[in-house]
Structure 1
Amino acid sequence: MRLLTSVRGALLVTLACVVALTLAGCGSRVHPESVAGANGTSTGVVTPGAEGALEGGVVAEGSGSDVGTVDDPGVVDDGGTAPGATTGGGTTGGPAAPQAEENAAGGGGEAGACDGFKNQTGITDDKIVIANSSDISGPVPGLMQAGQDATRAYAAYFNATSDICGRKLEVLLLDSRTDAAADQVSYTRACDEAFAAVGSMSAFDSGGAAAAQKCGLPDLRAASASLERSRCTTCFGAMSLKANEFENAVPDWIKANYPDAATKAGYVWINAGAVPANANYQADAMEKRGLKFVVRTGIDTSEFNYAPYVQELKDAGVEYLQFLGSAAHAVRMVQAMQQQGYKPDLFMMSQPMYEQAFIEQAGEAAEDAHVFITHVPFEEASSNAEIALYLAWLQQVNPGAKPTSYGLFAWSATRLFVEQATALGGKLSRASLVAALSKVKDWTANGAHGPQNVGAKRTGECWRFIKVDNSRWTAVGSRKYACNGTTTVPE
């Protein structure tokens, strides 16, 4: 039996999906009250093309301190013709161009004048280099591959239709290897070779925080997982998260729908990085909203026998169970629960476990598993043009790839970078971009996700719920977000 521990530690979290920011006057800036009433509307749904993939970045094999090199990174070489554009009575094989101006690759906002535009680190006469450093190798291979794919996907979309003062995007792909030291190496390289870092996601992102801060590198991440990264003044999470701040929508929904289970709650997490600290921050915040956790316990990443943990939950009479880890770990958890005949009133997972792979691998054990999310589910792409764009262009750069929350927020972060850089025009510099990002709030990426307080680096308050029903992810209750504020607990 593992005794519950109130771990307060300091590395990071594999939790986090990303949300993007927007410069004043560009893109979609919506207050939570508005988002609660409309999760985005369809303005020209996009479908994937039938022909081959667009060219994108490929990470070459690296060793030692070489965190990764790139062959033709993120550049679309199609002669300037946008996929889906009419060319003499036909179309190319890519996704159709969106009909709504706000979904255009450049953002649909007013572009800044290009007078005075200067080449600088990562910017030449014809390109702007953006780096993406994500966990590609490590204990869980491909952990954040979806985020890197999404950044490439948006770069391909942008390059096919737009430019920033005559310059296209080039993506420098780096591997943070699920390791803080590797994250530092990646960001040291990004400082020297890229104008900014965009869409990055790492479970150990504390490593590169100081490097980004020292060189003034704008780091518009999918999400900042650690407090160290959040404290970096040039670093922002597109999905705005603060480790010790949690949304009230989740505990409030649990109390309203499962009042008895709310007083017999349990939290199980995977002992990796700052996951234990974040799990306890969340449990503390939820207790302040009226829940009572009778069990809190962590499972080592190398542990395959979850039966003792399930027995502990049964013995304690836990009726509400919250789980934090990867989708693969969640599969082990629900299968152990099924084998032990344990079925609490409600089993809840956090957003990173919203993956089709969870259902496919867990089988019947996945049924009725719930997830709280802050974006439009991929199953609802037919009603949201931005989600449809992400799905379509993802297939262009990596055919067969599955969308993830990490990926969506990396896409959103890249859109935000483009919109802000376009608006700045000739005033674009690392310093001016950081200043613009610090003012961004209520960014929804055209309704793809709930509003994020990117500049303030505060956890977003708007969330909704989905569950597995007959081997499919389906909406639970209203498709509107619940925006009930947040609760902050001591670090």
Structure 2
Amino acid sequence: MPRLLPRRTRLAATMAATTIVTCLTLAGCGSNLDPQQVAAGRGTGTTNGGTAASGAPPDGTVPDIDDGDLPTGPGAGDGSVPDSTGGGGGAPPDTGGDTSGSGDGSGTDPGAAGGSGGANDTPAENSATGDGAAGDCDGFKNTTGITDSEITIANASDISGPVPGLFEAARQGTQAFVSYYNSTEKLCGRSLKLLPLDSRADAGADQQAYATACEKSFAAVGSVSSFDAGGAATAQKCGLPDLRAFTVTPERQTCSTCRAAYAISSSTISDTIPKFWLKTEPEASQHVGIFYVNVAASKVNAEAFRNAYERAGMNVDVLQPIDTAEFNYATYAQQMKDNDIQFVQYFGPYQFAIKLQQAMKQQSFTPKVYFQDPTIYDANYLKQAGDVAQGVYVFSTTELFDDTGIREMALYRSWLDQVAPGAVPNYYGLYAWSAARLFVEQATALGGKLTRASLVDSLAQVKGWTSNGLHAPMAVGAGTTSPCAKILQYSGSSWSSVSGRNFTCGGLVNAT
């Protein structure tokens, strides 16, 4: 077994920061808390459908998905989501560029959605305030983070630290929506102001950032931190609404004032993933090799997927760590050959994934399936991977970034390009945009009743959140993992969904 580096080395810190969120994007980091414990830590609340928010039952299953948690409309009855271009998305905005699905969205007219909504107005589709009526502003009061002219929201993400710019996309995604909102709207006469904070991939820095957020902002929005346990107690103690892009640790998941646009609970995965592979690759599904970068978060997640796969009927022959200091990946490629592995799954940052894929090519080993988390659904991975990227599969809970026929995707990409020209859209930025939209829609609906406490209570009722079709339905209030997913494949020069146009929705597998 390769030797582990000392815990305090820069490289180990880098990999820990990256892989903690790598495992998040798949399902959850597999803590010892079961889904019921996670939900219980949040307290309960009444959902829009009138049922109490709760976690999954002890067997890891979830209630039928047609119980109101998903949007209604065409396709909803069978667990799929309505076509992204219909109804909720509206017509694509006017563009000066290509909107066929391969364009970059940079030609989008960001003001096209427009629509300033008063208390009794119905805003235009994809307007910055959402499609609901605004609350009456009578009684609106200034408080921490709110003045006569501005509402300050904080974003605490890993910007510096062992991986500079690790989650800069989350800050950019939040700023993009703030800029979009301020271009057409005000909330009871107030614009939004973003307070950027740096959590530096460090629990102590996350705590310090949230101490500042408690003092200087009304709420925190769109944050992503590798070690987000640090600020969890601080946010809860001061009653700060913390509407994150992602949560990573159980401590943040159980924080009573914290929610995430990408809702997730520990130790569960969507059963649509193993069901897809059992149907499309029945033979390969019986010869699975799971490899992971040898840090705690990836280890737990790899073991959780092994458990879930085997419970679903797949067979895992190899579960193998690869040390962060390892340079000779040929050994692992040979191990795949020796064990007749036909399905390779890897947990780790894309830079290491490329090393493994290159070693497989050098050893003339080509499995039927190479499968990874959506951290490789990134233009930077494609640039560095070259031809070894051909044919790779990823799990995804978002629509394709290039599908600018989806009005909301076009808006996200257009405003991202305005605030950060040349920035690459990714998971973190998209869910930060989603979190910012959800904050605005909830705050607008509350109107004069807006307080930290009322916003926390309101967020606890949110379910089926898709941010106008950007991503799979999320049980934001309950904080449970979405049972919906897509499988994407990179082939030729583009990504496409091989599991169908719509998200496939099922149940949750308890992977402990």
TM-score band by shorter chain is 0.7 to 0.9
Q: What RMSD in Å do the two structures reach over aligned CA positions? A: 2.7
Tell me which amino acid in the other structure corresponds to 2:92: V
Does the CA-based 8 Å contact 1:222-1:409 persist in structure 2?
Answer: yes
Q: Distance in 2 between matches of 1:254 and 1:97?
A: 41
Residue 347 of structure 2 is aligned to residue 347 of structure 1: no
* Paired residue secondary structure (1:343): coil
**1:123 corresponds to:** 146
Identity of aligned residues (%): 44
- Cα distance in 1 for residues equivalent to 2:325 and 2:93: 42
Indicate conservation of the 8 Å contact 1:319/1:344, yes or no.
Answer: yes
Query: What SS class does the counterpart of residue 175 from structure 2 fall into?
Result: helix
Query: Which AA in structure 2 matches 1:45?
Result: P
2:400 to 362, 369, 377: 377
In 2 relative to 1, CA 307–174 (structure 1 residues): closer, same or farther, beyond 3 Å?
Answer: farther
Match of 1:13 in 2: 21
Q: Conserved in 2, the CA contact under 8 Å of 1:346 and 1:370?
A: yes
Is 1:421 the equivalent of 2:446?
Answer: no
Query: For the structure 1 residues 119 and 435, does the alpha-carbon distance in structure 2 shift closer, same or farther, using more than 3 Å as the test?
Result: same
Q: CA deviation at 1:48?
A: 6.7
Alignment partners' CA distance in 1, 2:26 and 2:168: 14
| One-letter identity of the residue aligned with 1:14 | T
- Residue 38 of structure 1: aligned partner: 82
Q: Does 1:461 align with 2:483?
A: yes
**Structure 1 residue aligned with 2:359, among 316, 333, 336?**
336
Contact 1:162/1:168, CA 8 A, preserved across alignment: yes
1:182 equivalent in structure 2: 205
Report if the CA contact (8 A) 1:129-1:194 is conserved: yes
Q: Distance in 2 between matches of 1:310 and 1:180?
A: 36
Q: Per-residue deviation at 1:24?
A: 5.5
Secondary structure, in 3 states, of the residue corresponding to 1:379?
coil
| CA shift for structure 1 position 417 | 0.4
Any conservation in 2 of the 1:136–1:176 contact (CA below 8 Å)? yes
Post-superposition shift, 1:254? 0.6
For structure 1, the 5+ residue unaligned runs are 4-8, 51-83, 85-91
Q: 1:137 aligns with which of 160, 164, 175?
A: 160
Corresponding residue number in structure 1 for 2:409: 387
Q: Indicate which of 95, 101, 113 corresponds to 1:98.
A: 113
Cα distance, 1:449 vs structure 2: 1.0
The aligned counterpart of 2:457 is: 435
Find the residue that maps to 1:171 and give its secondary structure. strand
Q: Residue 209 of structure 2: SS of its match in structure 1?
A: helix
| 8 Å CA contact retained: 2:110, 2:180 | no
**Structure 1 residue 179 displacement after superposition:** 1.7
Tell me, yes or no, if structure 1 residue 404 matches structure 2 residue 426. Answer: yes
Distance 1:29 1:331 in 2: 37
Distance 1:426-1:482 versus aligned 2 partners, 3 A rule: same
Structure 2 unmatched runs, 5+: 4-15, 28-46, 50-68, 98-105, 115-122
C-alpha deviation, 1:489, in angstroms: 3.2
Q: 2:198 and 2:327 mapped to 1: Cα distance?
A: 27
Aligned AA for 2:454? S
Contact 1:47 1:388 in 2 (8 A): no
Please report how far the alpha carbon of residue 436 of structure 1 lies from its aligned counterpart in structure 2 after TM superposition: 0.8
Determine if the alignment matches structure 1 residue 231 to structure 2 residue 243: no
Q: d(CA) in 1 for partners of 2:237 and 2:132?
A: 32
Instruction: Determine if contact 2:175/2:194 at 8 Å carries over to the other structure.
Output: yes
Deviation of residue 167 (structure 1)? 1.0
Instruction: Give the distance between the partners of 2:148 and 2:327, measured in 1 at CA.
Output: 53
**2:509 equivalent to 1:487:** yes
Instruction: Check the 8 A contact 2:244/2:261 in 1, yes or no.
Output: yes
TM-score (normalised: structure 2) = 0.80
User: Secondary structure, in 3 states, of the residue corresponding to 1:223?
Assistant: coil
For residue 17 of structure 1, report the CA deviation from its aligned partner.
5.4
Corresponding letter in the other structure for 1:263 = Q
Partner of 2:64: none
Structure 1 segment 61-210 matched on structure 2, within 5 A: 95-98=110-113, 101-210=124-233
> How many Å apart are 1:309 and its aligned residue?
2.5
Aligned with 1:259: secondary structure?
coil
AA in 1 matched with 2:446: L
1:218 is aligned to 2:241:
yes
What secondary structure, in the 3-state scheme, does the structure 2 residue paired with 1:189 have? Answer: helix
1:134 Cα shift? 1.1
CA distance in 2, matches of 1:272, 1:202: 17
Q: Distance in 2 between matches of 1:199 and 1:305?
A: 38
Judged with a 3 Å threshold, the aligned counterparts in structure 2 of structure 1 residues 419 and 271 are, in CA distance, closer, same or farther, namely farther
Secondary structure at 2:140 match in 1: coil
Match of 2:390 in 1: 367
Question: How many Å separate the matches in 1 of 2:249 and 2:331?
Answer: 30
CA contact (8 A) 1:151 1:410 kept: yes
CA contact (8 A) 1:239 1:409 kept: yes
Asked if structure 2 preserves the Cα contact closer than 8 Å seen for 1:186 and 1:208, the reply is yes
Q: Secondary structure at the match of 1:170?
A: strand
Equivalent position amino acid for 1:210 in 2: A
Q: 1:208 to 1:314 in 2, by over 3 A?
A: farther
Contact 2:276 2:499 in 1 (8 A): no
| Partner AA of 1:489 in structure 2 | A
Further displaced range: 40-49 or 349-358: 40-49
